[in-house]
Chains A and B, each alone.
Chain A
Amino acid sequence: MNTFQVVSLILLAVLFLRDLRKWVRARSGRGVRMLRCIVWAGAAVAITMPDQLTYLALHLGIHRGADLVLYVTVLAFLWVSFTLYTRSLRLERELTSLTRHLAIRDAVHKPVQSD
């Protein structure tokens, strides 16, 4: 096992245990925690057993394990980007609605002041 694999595994183990602990204790959002645990475990398998990753890639019609990781990463990045952008737009609209509500509620109309 090389240095990169050792360091990565330690980091992934910490992340996995942290999310596993939160998954056990959580009352809501358990699905997201479980998904994160699966991602950390999958990353650990891919780093420690590159041959198995290549084997999986070949079964999917991709020649290299590294290419499989690249494709999955790009797809995940696009999905996350679109999700965050849509959420950001929704928040912007809610912020505008709130701002509008406050502005109309606190409308001011004073008599003309003479200097």
Chain B
Amino acid sequence: MLAIKPYESVVPSIATNPLPTLAADSASIWIVIAAYNETSRLGKTLAELLPHYSNVVVVDDGSRDDTAAVAEKAGVWTLRHPINRGQGAALQTGIDFAIQTGADVIVTFDADGQHDPADIPAILAPVLAGTADIALGSRFLGKTIGMPFSRRVVLKLAVIFTRIVSQIKVTDTHNGFRSFSRSAATAIRIYQDRMAHASEILDEIRRQGLRYAEVPVTIRYTAGTLAKGQSSFNAVRIAWQFLVGKVTK
């Protein structure tokens, strides 16, 4: 296990009754990775993770390439969606599996290498310490490497959108780097199969009154991740999916 780095609590916890604390070395920590056509990047991501975390589950979301084979070869738990259902659906599948397997804490982590495994101890800390049900990674409190200006603008607009619609004050809304306590992971059910799940999670945190903390993390952009990532137009579509999902739930 990596050593736990000092945790910087950015958003004061709204907790009045602290949750039971978990020892980092004995808690069952599961890393959930949703992957779609990630043959070229998944292997490196898993190679960085596996020396430190043994409970890793990759959900291959109906990839047309060898993503599942790469995961199987790395020796991690591999789940395959027979057809593509979207990142939100894949994460929920991995979370369900981790809960069934006895996870105490669940971390969601990107397959494409955008997240830094060195940040995992920090994202685990508030949940392990019992000061939060959910820890949310924030690139705007942490660091970004190679983020284009247009992406920064879109993400800032998403923050404003979330403050208005979900009424939750966070600095980063579509960051897939999070940790959940077992009870929070059980309480939150992702119905937004596609990318709007990130907004849905924030919505559920507020609706259920869950305790959250934002944790500075580093997001690394590369030409490959930017090519596959969400375009500015997609941001509008995600917002639309989220709003429609809210009224048709």
Contacts and interface: CB of A to CB of B under 8 A. Distances in A.
Do the two shown chains form a genuine complex with each other? yes
Interface of A: 85-86, 89, 92-93, 95-96, 99-100, 102-104, 106-113
A106 B193 CA distance: 21
B8 interface: no
B79 A104 contact: yes
Secondary structure class of chain A's binding surface, majority of residues: helix
Nearest to B88: A96
Secondary structure class of chain B's binding surface, majority of residues: mixed
A95 B82 CA distance: 11
Contacts of A112: 73-75
Contacts of B140: none
Interface of B: 57, 59, 72-83, 85, 89, 92-93, 96-97, 100, 191, 193, 248
B73 to A, nearest CB: 5
Given A86-B248, A112-B75, A103 B80 contact: yes
Given A107-B77, A112-B75, A113-B73, A99 B92 contact: no
A100 B89 contact: yes
B13 to A, nearest CB: 32
Contacts of A95: 83, 85
Contacts of B82: 99, 102-103
Contacts of A99: 81-83, 85, 89, 93
B59 A103 contact: yes
23 contacts: A92-B193, A93-B191, A96-B89, A99-B85, A99-B93, A100-B81, A100-B85, A100-B96, A102-B82, A103-B80, A103-B81, A103-B82, A103-B97, A104-B96, A104-B97, A104-B100, A107-B57, A107-B79, A107-B97, A108-B78, A108-B80, A109-B76, A109-B77
Contacts of A103: 59, 79-82, 93, 97
B81 A110 contact: no
A110 B78 CA distance: 9
A100 B90 CA distance: 8
Top 6 closest pairs, chain A to chain B, by CB: A112-B75, A103-B79, A100-B93, A108-B78, A96-B89, A99-B81
Contacts of A96: 85, 89, 193
A104 B73 CA distance: 18
B78 A109 contact: yes
Contacts of A102: 81-82
Nearest to A82: B248
B183 to A, nearest CB: 20
Contacts of B57: 107
A38 B82 CA distance: 44
Contacts of B74: 112
